[in-house]
Amino acid sequence: MKQRKIIHVDMDAFYASIEQRDHPEYRGKPIAVGRPEMRGVVAAASYEARRFGVRSAMPSMKAMKLCPKLIFTSNRMDVYKSVSAQIRSIFHRYTDLVEPLSLDEAFLDVTENKPGIPLAVDIARRIKREIRQELHLTASAGVSYNKFLAKIASDYRKPDGLFTIHPSRAEEFIARLPIEAFWGVGHATAERMRALSITNGTQLRERDMEFLVRHFGKIGGVFYNFARGIDERPVEPFRIRKSVGCEETYREDATKAQALETHLPLLSEELAGRLARSGFQGNTLTLKVKFPDFVQKSRSITVPDCLTEIEDILPLARTLMEDLDSGDRTFRLLGLSVSHPREEHSGGIWEQLWLDLEY
């Protein structure tokens, strides 16, 4: 079977870079897309701001403390969507197998490509050049034989990076990866892996399938394959994004009072940030809880308008939690998601939603 050629393209600080492109006075300065308010959330940060520790989904007040000279700019989602469409049109010059993950990143399968270019790295180089020349923005690209490795490669030399993981070098490359670099390994999973003396790709590869599934459930099988450079997922251009969500597993079980006062506000901030970055719009909010015995419950509420801001999400999340029939039980996991996409807003070509299992 022919070796696949997969490219992952990730725009560098996409929203913030557009603002710096369109407003020369912002260039070279730390900027954040969002609102400098008590309940505001950073949707995106320039690389100048990231040097101070400012990150997307961070509360605006915290970002301002980290970087007192931080400049906030309004979210111009219509502009970001328009630029994203222009970027996708560049991708389609080379292949129709384009799978957007959000407005600013996508996978491309260029095994068979329109210009007939034999090397995927040459296609990635041309795409980067055309984005820079036509849109005055920079992108990072990763090239490999599957999605897992292409995604890692695109992160390897950001910003404005280009990196290839060749099949002959994949095993050695994966062996050196810190466990946090693997897809699906969030903070809580990384802590559990470290407790099992798994800190890198070599140690992950030493564990058999049964061990990983026993400790991590179904995703343990994914970790087993990733550690061996195996990822058979195809690039799928037309899967419709159904929801955007986030969840957290707690080191110590949370009470309902803690959930209402502390955990749900943090989850709501994270969710609002993810919604802003993805451009997804939906009007159904779902609360998911997992009890210490691993029993799960969920509750949903649908409202007339799209849920995009923390001011809209948090009150509904608290209502769902208060209405949840949990008695005096505590929670080991809480999650929030927005679904029921409004296709006239969302564009209908999104996917890869709950991959980031924890934060």
191, two tokens: 């802590």
* Partner residues linked to 289 by β-bridges: 297, 334
Q: How far apart are CA 6 and CA 109, in angstroms?
A: 5
Quote the tokens at residue 66: 């980290």
- Report the 10 Å Cβ neighbour count for 166: 12
Query: Is 160 known to sit in a ligand binding site?
Result: no
Residue 19 annotated as catalytic: no
Among residues 39, 234, 217, the alpha carbon closest in space to that of 147 is found at: 234
| Residue tagged active-site, from 105, 247, 248, 270 | 105
Length of the chain: 359
Q: Are 41 and 272 in contact (CB under 8 A)?
A: yes
122 is in an annotated binding site: no
CA angle, corner 186, sides to 183 and 187, nearest 5? 150
Distance set, CA 275 to CA 44, 80, 105, 227, 305 (Å): 12, 13, 15, 30, 14
Q: Which residue has the tokens 């957007």?
A: 100
Instruction: State the binding site.
Output: 10, 104
Q: Summarize the annotated binding site for Mg(2+) as residue ranges.
A: 10, 104
The residues assigned a catalytic role are 105
